[in-house]
Amino acid sequence: MVKFKEWNSWGGSVIGPAHIKMNIVNQDAWLSRHFFWGDVLVVADGLGSHTYSDKGSQAICRAVLSIAKIYSNVKHINIQRFLKRVQGKWLEELGNFSPKEASSTVLFVVRYKKEFIVCQLGDGIIMGFSNDGNSFILNENKDESFSNITHSLKKDIDFKNWKVKHLKNMSFNTFVLVTDGVSDDLVINRELEFGEELYKNNLRYSKKRVEKSLKYMLMNWPVPNHSDDKTIACLYRGR
């Protein structure tokens, strides 16, 4: 039996009040897996205006996992090739669903022993925490767009729309990924405080307890008139 490293994860996703009223399924999705070679954490948010966006968000989670496995033995990873293969695998996973009707944003972190691939397409945020003062936030700057519309997966890939970090620094110990149903409600310039408090407060608890508490928090979101689906997931190194 494989003995996993000390990296762990937890997460939760709840349907937004607006979707409950409209009888629409949760269009967010998330996935985490741990292997002897590293870890995979993916969070996705299907575009609400698209008929099969839930299928798209689920498909991209499976696609990232599949390609991450293939690259587990690759010594030098070309990020653009990696993303191109993820894109192709997403289209494959969609099957008969049209990419136009199943578009989704995606956030993911893949750890390969001593390096991390951190990628984002569209809204939501990724928070990376380190022991050496290099903590960061990865997010989409909608101010750069006149339409204020988020980027998302399509039939063809456009690398310029992706936000990417290739980290070779093992001082990083935690990554928190959230969809825009959460990130849009956070206080500007205090997102890292939210993420840090969230993961530190849950370090001593079991995965089952954390996910139960997280679901309760998301279902009782304290922001008035919130409506969107909400997903939070965390990959962290045990202390």
Taking residue 115's Cβ as centre, other Cβ atoms within 10 Å add up to 15
pTM exceeds cut of 0.85: yes
Which token pair is 74? 């690759």
130 burial level (CB within 10 Å; 0-12, 13-18, 19+):
middle
Distance (Å, whole) CA 229 – CA 221 = 11
Strands 162-167 and 125-130: unpaired
Percent share of the chain, pLDDT over 70: 94
Distance (Å, whole) CA 105 – CA 120 = 8
Which token pair is 210? 């954390």
Give 235's Cβ-side CA count (13 Å radius): 27
Q: What is the pLDDT of residues 52-99, one digit of tens each?
A: 999 999 999 999 999 999 999 998 999 999 999 999 999 999 999 999
CATH class of the 7-237 domain in this structure: alpha beta
Q: What is the pLDDT of residues 104-119, one digit of tens each?
A: 999 999 999 889 999 9
Given a cut of 50, whether residue 101 has pLDDT beyond it is yes
For residue 143, give the 3-state DSSP assignment: helix
Q: Domain boundaries in the chain?
A: 7-237
